[in-house]
Amino acid sequence: MGSLPARKEIPDQYKWRLEDIYAADELWERDFQQVQKMASEVESYRGKLGQSAITLLGVLQAEERLQELIEKLYVYARMRRDEENSNPVYQALTDRADSLNTSVEAALSFIVPEILAIPTDVLKRFRQEEQALARYHFVLDEILRFAPHTLSAAEEQIIAQAGDVIQAPSNIFKMINNADLTFPSIRDEEGKEVEVTHGRYLQLMECGDRRVRQEAFSALYSSYRKLKNTLAATISNSVKKDVFYTRVRKYPTAMEAALFSDNIPPAVYENLIATVRGNLDTMYRYVALRKKLLGLAELHMYDLYTPMVKDVSWEIPYEEAVALVRKGLAPLGPSYGEIMASGLASGWVDVYENKAKTSGAYSWGPYGVHPYVLMNYQDNLNSVFTLAHELGHAMHTYYSYREQPYVYAHYKIFTAEVASTVNESLLMAYLLNIETDRNKKLYLLNHYLEEFRGTVFRQTMFAEFEKVIHEKVEAGIALTPALLSEIYRQLNVDYYGPGIVIDKDIDLEWARIPHFYSAYYVYKYATGFSAATSISQQILREGEAAVNRYLNFLKMGGSDYPLDLLRTAGVDMTTPQPVQDGLNLFARLLEQMETLTA
């Protein structure tokens, strides 16, 4: 592996083409100035929204244009910075985009309070009088739904102006985690010295040499341990920020505040935790099987990622991964496949890790251009599934952007994780169907069980951690490093059971999870996985009819509430059943693997 290459050393065919957003930074600068001008022009509507339907339409159209352009500016700056976080040019552009976004939010902050101040009968008349307002019916309905939690125009402006300060914990964590934090080097299974990085960590944890796994695990957490007080302060202040918004906007709890935007009842969150906790016996069986197949007297936390099936070396270069993904997603139809293939060939994906590149993977992109995918591709099966996952997001974005106006083009995360996981499920079904090698089939089963462990069990554990720490702060209890580690340790004990050694280092895992800076976010991975399991089975069982339902779901973007969108795709998340169905599949897969390895 050696040292990471510099950005300029990565061949162009493996880089995304951000020039499709702005061909040059000068064009970004031009739009930056334009946004400032447009934000000033919006001020001309202040105090006038109740005067006429035409005026109301005018401000909604102006807001839409402004939001679309500021998104383009912000996405470009952030994605350029993500290429190489140490680049001062794009650090500066991102900071400027952040500040501009805050000033735009402040400029637009009068709109919602003024709309809410329009008498109900007058607003109804406006909507009947002006046909063009039909475009904004769902927007207006959403504004009215938020009425009990919307403040006066002056108060909303104050909150908007505080945006940069409020985002400080998240921004500080990102710079510590992606730019400043470094990890020790270890010796790999061949005795060569390699630097532990975010991108390499999972690959090292999958290594068949237990010494390498243990050293990588210790190396990673040794760096976080040195910063535990700083990182406890950042996460504590992030939670305090959530509680501040909760109280200012008059929500009962931080959970209800976070779920309200998706119109999700708290029972969905509570059902997830309760249902997963009610099925932990299968996780304990999985842990026992892992211990048995690895032939270990003691199973440790650093043994959870290495394949349980021995003597399977499965190196998958990027080009082969692309071919596998295309074949695996063939059930979604030729049109879906052709659009995806075109994107893969024309600069949608940034493939390999380089120095100071943002870790992990994501899909993003501004309206009116096309989606992008950030990868840190390693030549392994996990990266193949990550590529399929992120392309699910990308294709959801593609269809949504193509079919919806800007105001409805952005789907909620609750539904986004369905699209990504449908892709993974279909790819897994394809690979299990074509694989004839017993060990590789076992390896795939191992991978699929790991997906359940990581996405349903682990993300639910994360969700419960978020619930507990928010409740602590709401009760006035300080989140010290010791308390955070104590809470996190107990959850690991509960979720993994008595068959594994809960190493001391894992107590600090809370310090490295970026998603904890987005309140009550991770539960959507578990609910999305469950919904996607149902949809993918429908596609494989029913064919074209189910595909059409699914593609219609993708095309609807954010034009309805997430639970209603999922109902159109044939899934009802208001009951525990989809989660239980997914856990039942986990149990069946586990039984298959237990039988094959008996």
How many CB atoms are located within 10 Å of the residue 525 CB?
A: 23
Helix (H) / strand (E) element for 194: namely strand 193-195
Cα Rg of the chain, angstroms: 24
* Sequence-distant (≥ 6) Cβ neighbours of residue 228 within 8 angstroms: 481, 508, 511
Tokens found for residue 453: 């462990």
User: Distance between CA 127 and CA 130 in Å, rounded?
Assistant: 6
- HEC-encoded secondary structure of 14-33: HCCCHHHCCCCHHHHHHHHH
Distances (CA, A) of 52 to 39, 42, 124, 128: 21, 16, 12, 12
What is the arrangement of strands in the sheet containing 362-364, beginning at the earlier edge strand? Answer: 349-350, 372-374, 362-364
User: Distance between CA 403 and CA 416 in Å, rounded?
Assistant: 16
Catalytic hit among 215, 390, 451, 464: 390
The residue type found at 590 is: L
CB 542 within 8 A of CB 240: no
CB 486 within 8 A of CB 506: no
H-type alpha helices, 227-279? 228-248, 254-260, 266-277
| DSSP designation for 265 | -
User: Distance between CA 346 and CA 339 in Å, rounded?
Assistant: 11
Q: Tell me the backbone φ, ψ of residue 464, rounded to 5 degrees.
A: -70, -40
CB 574 within 8 A of CB 561: no
User: Distance between CA 56 and CA 48 in Å, rounded?
Assistant: 8
Q: Is 29 known to be catalytic?
A: no
Q: Which residues are catalytic?
A: 390
